[in-house]
Structure 1
Amino acid sequence: MTARGMTTASRTVRGTPPGVRLAGIDAARGLALLAMMATHVLATFEPDPQLTPTWIGLAFSGRAAALFAVLAGVGLALSTGKQQPLEGAELRGARRGIALRALVIGAVGLSLGGMEVNIAIILVHYALLFLCVLPFVGLRLKRLAALAVLWILAAPALAYLLRPWLLSADPPLRLGHNPSWEDLAAPARLLGDLFLTGYYPVLQWIAYLLVGLAIGRMALWKAAVPFLLVAAGTVVAVMSKWLGTLMLEDWGGRQALQAHIGDPAYPLESLLQVNLAGIDQSGSVWWLATSAPHSGTTLDLLHTSGAAAAVIGLCLLLGRLGDWLELDLLLPLRGAGAMTLSLYTAHLCIMAALHDQPLMPGWTVEGVYFAQAVGMLVAGGVFAAMAWRGPLEWATHAASQAGRHQPAQVRRPRRVR
């Protein structure tokens, strides 16, 4: 039997049609990358006095990064036993592999943190999230789902209570820039920023990986599961956004927050639609009632998690459609999604090279984005067609395999008496 036949047979034994699940998951990861890039390159506010949100800001802000984090949890579940989580020595090996992989990602993030770029780099937070969920990767679906709900409900309130204490320190435990190697000299400030005061607060974002782990423990190859993800995700996303709008607009929440913060540099109404990351969300419990992107509230976590689940379900359905048509509809997207670390790093390097530099004649900001997007889709398609790993993916895979390695036990001969 050929190697390809052996792979197909092994997948069939597990009850998983070859290619259905992984194609959809990688495609969703590719979409998350392209959407994150759009928020980095394209304007999220119109250049008018009201700073009206653009469709990029309305559609992708908060949701793209959350999808990326949820998919990290899905990937961890798929690599640690799928529906049946690993146990014993295999689970310990998997945890070591995840930890070493996180160290590689964190090192890349700290190295990129020193660049001059107007982008909040997620990689150090991403690596820390991997380490924080290690105790949970051996849990089954029901426990993961219950833990995810509990975390979504409790973590935002805890963050609301702890954040003022961190910000009142001297100096405040907030970086105001991307984490870099130099920040290791002030570990308290670095950890405070990573967990609570930074752009991607790990304390709340653990919820995304728990949601992803729960999704990854589902039977993703069964016909009903993608439809369930789309339906349930859509309902959760719509209801949480509706409830947030109700509390702010009809119950007086926005007026209370406006009176609390005075006149911010950006109109509060626009910030609530696009991004609350730079606002000090303390001093009023009404902050916990928002569903604004990057607010880290319960409603924000519910909305973005629901949206992520719906996108994952749609991508799984597209993967099934491609299998039925015997046509790889998702090749460029899944190729890009399989090497997001390398492509994300390349994107950051490009944006750092363009930082504070005039564009070449004939180029527009939109052209810069589409050139990068097309280039990454082409690269992803080529790498997927050739079954290659990206360079940084090769490094993380090697680290993971090193952690998973189980040394052979040497049996001592019995003594003859």
Structure 2
Amino acid sequence: MTSHSTGASSGRVKGPGSGGRLTGIDAARGLALLGMMATHLLPTFESDAHLTPTWVGLTFSGRSAALFAVLAGVGLALSTGKQHPLTGRPLSAARRGIALRALVIAIVGLSVGAFEVDIAVILVHYAVLFLCVLPFIGLQLKILCAWSAAWVLGSPLVAFLLRPWLMATHPPLQLDHNPAWQDLATPGQLLSDLFLTGYYPVLQWLSYLLVGLVIGRLALTAPGLPLLLLVGGTALAVFAKVLGTLAMEKWGGLAALQSILVDPSFPLGSLLQVNLSGVRQEGSWWWLASSAPHSGTTLDLLHTIGTAAAVLGLCLLIGRLANRTGLDLLLPLRGAGAMTLTLYTLHVWAVASIHLQGWTEEAVYFAHAALAVLIGMAFVILRIRGPLEWLGHAANQVGRGVPDLSTKK
């Protein structure tokens, strides 16, 4: 959740393409932050017997967090050679820097895990993803594309086969809370939750960082690339969602899955539209045909990868328009996107600690979103890093052997 490079985090318009590209990436990250806040604070289901999905659940669930992960991969590519991956000693130094930055994120995540809050905090998973992607940082584009495709296709199948074994133990190898410091005492349960049985299974979610690396290795300054991301991402997202919907509703998938559930009145149809993370996906191969948010299937990965690419393409296009007009159209979003680690942590702390009696859910969300935007804009205008971004940047620079403790961007 930190900015992808020293220059990238500044958000300054530097000229055609370059500045717009960087501000567009930060803006997409800011949009992901606001989307995740919406799923945390606004209802994703109506409070009725059928758990009717709300527009928030249908729009943001699964997509906002995936956008974060894809952008993490883009940022790693930009900070490790862009179109020309680092090799040799520079690559080793970059890996050390990324590993130390991941350590900072993990420490923050384990500390935030102590908060009593009804939010699935992504930070520890995010840190583990940074470590898992290190072997892929130096790969050339064609090889990286092959690994990305194989991971999207193969990791859901591996998870489907392994997960029942982990859940059949007593107790199941799954946490019923966010990862926290005390979970280090039970490493088997912690690792199983992080990689396979938890809310953000790293095994499948590594697909997002790999695809992000692919996107970041492309010539992002090329005139047609943002439009290609927008159109191609939209087409991929629609294809995956349509195929998953057909499999469930027209080809018998939903009926087959409903028949193996203990409670026949369980609102599986609604969960397939919004969030499948709380359902044990075992006992039928039909689970792999779903495109449901947080199902971790190939179709879910393809759909959310497509939406992430489309959002990034749109933000890049708006960034280029801002360059031409001289208007900083993305300032509210890119400000928040340049310091997401700090703002996300503050958001989770506020949800856990500040209870606004008499406020509606919409008002609470507006307060969180408005503060995130205003704080982010202030830091960008002042050209300074957020406090946790400063820690992550400093750790990264120490790992690379070029310590830079300046708070300036």
TM range (shorter): over 0.9
Q: Does 1:385 align with 2:395?
A: no
- TM-score normalised by the chain length of structure 1: 0.92
State the distance in 2 between where 1:145 and 1:387 align. 36
Kindly indicate whether residue 333 of structure 2 is the aligned counterpart of residue 369 of structure 1: no
Mapped partners of 1:168, 1:30: distance in 2 = 39
Give the equivalent residue in structure 2 for 1:200: 200
Partner of 2:112: 112
Q: Distance in 2 between matches of 1:29 and 1:367?
A: 23
2:397 counterpart residue number = 401
1:133-152 superposed matches below 5 A: 133-152=133-152
The one-character-per-residue Cα deviations of 1:364-385 (angstroms, maximum 9, x if unpaired) are 1100000110111111111111
CA distance in 2, matches of 1:264, 1:209: 38
- SS state at 2:260 partner: helix
Preserved contact between residue 132 and residue 206 of structure 2 (Cα < 8 Å): yes
Percentage of matched positions with identical amino acids: 66
More deviation, 44-53/124-133: 44-53
Task: Flag structure 1 segments of 5+ consecutive residues without an equivalent.
Answer: 1-6, 9-13, 408-417
Deviations 1:71-130 (A, max 9, x none): 010010011011111111110000000000000000000000011000000000000000
Distance 1:274 1:241, change over 3 A: same
Q: Measure the CA separation in 1 of the matches of 2:119 and 2:265.
A: 19
What letter corresponds to residue 268 of structure 2 in structure 1?
L
Alignment check: 8 A CA contact 2:102 2:130 kept: yes
1-structure distance, mates of 2:55, 2:70: 23
Report the alpha carbon displacement of residue 168 of structure 1 after superposing the two structures with TM.
1.2
Equivalent-residue separation in structure 2 for 1:100 and 1:265 (angstroms) = 48
Segments of 4+ moved more than 6 angstroms: none
Counterparts of residues 12-411 of structure 1 (less than 5 Å): 17-263=17-263, 267-354=267-354, 357=355, 359-361=356-358, 363-405=359-401
Q: Displacement of 1:360 after TM fit?
A: 2.4
Aligned to 2:11: none
Residue pair 1:20, 1:316 contacting (<8 A) in 2 also = yes
Distance in 1 (alpha carbons) for counterparts of 2:234 and 2:17:
26
Question: Alpha-carbon deviations, 1:15-51, whole Å to 9, x = none?
Answer: 9744121100000000000000000000001122221
Deviation at 1:146, TM superposition (A): 1.6
Is the CA contact 2:16–2:323 (under 8 Å) kept in the aligned structure 1?
Answer: no
Q: Which runs of 5 or more residues in structure 2 are unaligned?
A: 1-6, 9-13, 404-409
Distance change in 2, residues 1:280/1:165 (3 Å): same
Is the 1:44–1:53 contact (alpha carbons within 8 Å) kept by the matching residues of 2? yes
* Kept in 1: contact 2:109–2:123 (CA 8 A): yes
Q: Is the 8 Å Cα contact of residues 43 and 54 (structure 2) preserved in structure 1?
A: yes
Deviation at 1:171, TM superposition (A): 2.0
Equivalent-residue separation in structure 1 for 2:18 and 2:249 (angstroms)? 48
CA deviation after TM superposition for structure 1 residue 238, in Å: 0.4
Equivalent AA in structure 2 for residue 374 of structure 1: A
The CA distance in 2 between the partners of 1:261 and 1:102, in whole Å, is: 39
Evaluate the alpha carbon distance shift between residue 406 and residue 393 of structure 1 in structure 2; reply closer, same or farther with a 3 A threshold.
closer
Note if contact 2:39-2:61 (Cα within 8 Å) is conserved in structure 1.
Answer: yes
